[in-house]
């Protein structure tokens, strides 16, 4: 799925803004997409808004290479996670992708050596290839039973993915 279909655009440097630990740009609809995480926290809680703009996406490599992150909590406003968004976040242990996310691009968790827990939502419609490439141990992926996320993870055929079902009451 191309950026145009998702309402995303390329950014002229003069339209890139910073708010706290985040560098972001605006989508055509006025929502924000995180371009780069600038902080060094271990437990990250991505905000729902940056300078008043609803955060709806993470750009290509937005958190890539960060070695301090252990866990990430994304807001319910997120809809799109770009290619290699968490590439080589070597200490990332867990992440819950919230309901409402429909698109996770390829290589999103590749080379995350410590990744052990991932929650994928029922709303997911696309999970790109090589999502878990080069990870060290077993990754428990929590998915709704019968969902696209379950089918896609099974299609990867990786022995290092342990699939368990989300409790619908608690997801």
Q: Which of 50, 59, 55, 61 is nearest to 29 (CA)?
A: 55
Residue 171 belongs to some domain of the structure: no
**Which H or E run contains 32?**
strand 32-37
How would residue 91 be classed by pLDDT, with cut points 50, 70 and 90?
A: very high
Inside any domain, residue 49 = yes
Domain count of the chain?
A: 1
1 — pLDDT class (breaks 50, 70, 90): very low
Q: How confident is the model at residue 7, as a pLDDT?
A: 45
Structure token pair of residue 117 = 């827990």
Task: Tell whether pTM > 0.75.
Answer: yes
Helix (H) or strand (E) holding 155: helix 148-156
- pLDDT at residue 8 in the model: 46
Report whether pLDDT(75) > 90. Answer: yes
Q: Are strands 117-119 and 94-96 parallel, antiparallel or unpaired?
A: parallel
Model pLDDT for residues 33-71, shown as the tens digit of each residue:
999 999 999 999 999 999 999 999 999 999 999 999 999
For the segment 140-167, the average pLDDT, to the nearest whole number, is: 89
| Per-residue confidence (pLDDT) for residue 13, from 0 to 100 | 59
Q: What is the largest CA-CA distance in the chain?
A: 46
What average pLDDT does the chain have? 89
Q: How does DSSP assign 111-138, residue by residue?
A: T-TT--EEE--TT--EE-TTTTTT--S-
- Is residue 142 in some structural domain? yes
For residue 36, the enclosing domain spans: 4-165
- Tell me, what CATH number does 101's domain have? 3.80.10.10
Q: Is the pLDDT of residue 161 over 90?
A: no
Report the pLDDT value the prediction gives residue 16, as an integer from 0 to 100: 85
**Is residue 170 included in any domain, yes or no?**
no
Residue 160 pLDDT > 90, yes or no?
A: no
In angstroms, rounded to a whole number, what is the distance separating the alpha carbons of residues 32 and 24? 6
Q: Is the model's pLDDT at 5 over the cut of 50?
A: no
Q: Is residue 95 part of a domain?
A: yes
Quick: pLDDT tens for 118-139. Answer: 999 999 999 999 999 888 889 9
Within 13 Å of residue 88, how many CA atoms lie on the same side as its CB?
5
Quick check: 165 and 142 in contact, CB under 8 A? yes
């Amino acid at each position: 799925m191309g950026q145009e279909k998702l309402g995303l655009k390329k950014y002229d440097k003069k339209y890139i803004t910073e708010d706290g630990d985040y560098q972001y740009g605006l989508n055509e609809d006025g929502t924000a997409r995180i371009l780069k995480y600038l902080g060094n926290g271990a437990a990250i809680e991505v905000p729902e808004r940056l300078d008043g703009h609803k955060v709806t996406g993470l750009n290509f490599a937005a958190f890539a290479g960060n070695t301090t992150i252990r866990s990430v909590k994304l807001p319910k406003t997120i809809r799109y996670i770009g290619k290699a968004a968490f590439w080589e976040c070597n200490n990332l242990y867990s992440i819950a992708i919230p309901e409402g996310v429909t698109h996770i691009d390829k290589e999103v968790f590749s080379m995350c050596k410590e990744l052990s827990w991932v929650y994928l939502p029922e709303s997911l419609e696309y999970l790109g290839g090589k999502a878990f490439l080069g990870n060290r141990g077993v990754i428990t992926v929590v998915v709704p039973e019968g969902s696209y996320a379950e089918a896609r993870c099974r299609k990867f055929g990786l022995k290092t993915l342990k699939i368990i079902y989300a409790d619908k009451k608690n997801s």
